[in-house]
Amino acid sequence: MREPSLRLQSEIEYISRRIEEELLSFFHRLPNDDLTNIIRYHMGWLNKNFIPEDSYKGKRLRPVLCGLICKITGGDLEESYPAGIALELTHNFSLVHDDIQDKDKLRRGRETVWSIWGTAQGINVGDAMISLAHKAILDSGLDYYKKCRLIDILDTAIFRLCQGQFMDVSFEEKQDVDIEEYILMIQGKTCSMFEASVEMGLVLSEKEELIEKFVLIARNLGIGFQILDDILGLWGNPKVTGKPIGSDLRQNKKTYPIILGLKERLDIKDIVLNKDKTEKEIEYITQLFEKLGIKETCKDRVNLYLSKAREIINSLPLDKDNLELLLELTYYLESREK
């Protein structure tokens, strides 16, 4: 596995740190009430008793992507932070609601919002995060045109994200889901926010003529990223992912490896689709799928989509150093373990 260069590591660490500072500054101006403190809990700044805590906060990947694209295409990195805050809050809104829909009790190794404060309040928290995402852009010092474009991109992405999530939930009740349906779902659920991140970065650097190519890059990255997430959802280390092994099987998800596995072994369909699978059955299915080569096939698919992204990156009108930085980013995404 190719290791990210010191330059890429430095860029990611710097943008992540600055986004964290900007997020904290943004929240410092918000009320110190229970609703906002539950958001602060989910974001990793407080424990469930609202006492400061420094827990794992996620990768802040979408704001990093936005900032990086803005910077390497000639924009001012500082201008990307309001968009980065909006992207991060939108992503986390989707996680809060996703946990409710999937009945997940753990997220990043901590109790989920709904499992502590209930479903109704979890919905309220997610809704509040969407309004704050808009506020981050509208309260910024960006010019009127950029604000309008960023809000338009964000709202389009949110709608597509909801379409993808709608499909994902509906798949739980479907007996048969094919790969084409899965890809369509992922283009909404995952790719929409990747695409929004690069679009926002290009609006901020005033290089909108590059949007078409960058959107294709983001779409391929998003699909590859999600298939890798699906691999982790079946075979990931619970101590690293923060979720139990085989978590997608427990929820009757139709993920990439599960769809492939069902096509290989129709005789175990009843076990896979049973909503009350035992721990032994989950272990049996995950081990069987691995023996059938499903895990390796999925890894090959990840590599295929990331290779497509790399091909488009190599066609971009950027200097050699920045092309190399983008290529390294694809390898960085490929190497994640949570």
120-168 pLDDT, tens per residue? 999 999 999 999 999 999 999 999 999 999 999 999 999 999 999 999 9
**Domain residue limits at 328:** 6-334
23-60 pLDDT, tens per residue? 999 999 999 999 999 999 999 999 999 999 988 888 89
Tokens of residue 138, six digits:
């509208």
Tell me the whole-structure pTM to 2 decimals.
Answer: 0.94
Q: To 5 degrees, how large is the angle CA 16–CA 22–CA 26?
A: 145
What pLDDT does residue 266 have? Answer: 87
Neighbour tally for 199: CB within 10 Å = 26
Whose CA is closest to 256, among 282, 235, 241, 284?
235
Q: Is residue 119 part of a domain?
A: yes
Average pLDDT, the chain: 94
What would the mean pLDDT of 72-79 be, rounded to a whole number?
97
Which helix (DSSP H) or strand (DSSP E) does residue 110 occupy?
strand 110-111
CATH of the domain at 289: 1.10.600.10
* Residue owning tokens 């403190």: 37
Q: Is residue 171 part of a domain?
A: yes
**Helix residue ranges, H only, 143-190:** 144-171, 179-189
**Backbone phi, psi, residue 319, to 5°:** -70, 165
Cα torsion through 129, 26, 82, 124, rounded to 10 = 0
Whose CA is closest to 65, among 338, 309, 314?
309
- Separation between Cα atoms, residue 149 and residue 222, nearest integer Å: 22
What pLDDT does residue 157 have? Answer: 98
Position 173 pLDDT exceeds 90: no
* Centroid of chain to Cα 77: 22
* Centroid of chain to Cα 11: 19
What would the mean pLDDT of 271-295 be, rounded to a whole number?
92
Q: Is residue 276 part of a domain?
A: yes
Domain count, the chain: 1
What would the mean pLDDT of 75-104 be, rounded to a whole number?
96
91-133 pLDDT, tens per residue? 999 999 999 998 989 998 899 999 999 999 999 999 999 999 9
DSSP letter (8 states) at residue 268: G
Largest Cα separation within the chain, whole Å, is 60
What pLDDT does residue 311 have? Answer: 97
More confident residue, 133 or 268: 133
What pLDDT does residue 203 have? Answer: 98
Contact by Cβ (8 Å): 161, 188: yes
Q: Is residue 1 part of a domain?
A: no
Q: Is residue 157 part of a domain?
A: yes
Question: 6-43: buried (b, 16+ CB within 10 Å) or exposed (e) per residue?
Answer: eebeebbeebbebbbebbeebbeeeeeeeebbbbbbbb
- Separation between Cα atoms, residue 190 and residue 286, nearest integer Å: 24
What pLDDT does residue 338 have? Answer: 60
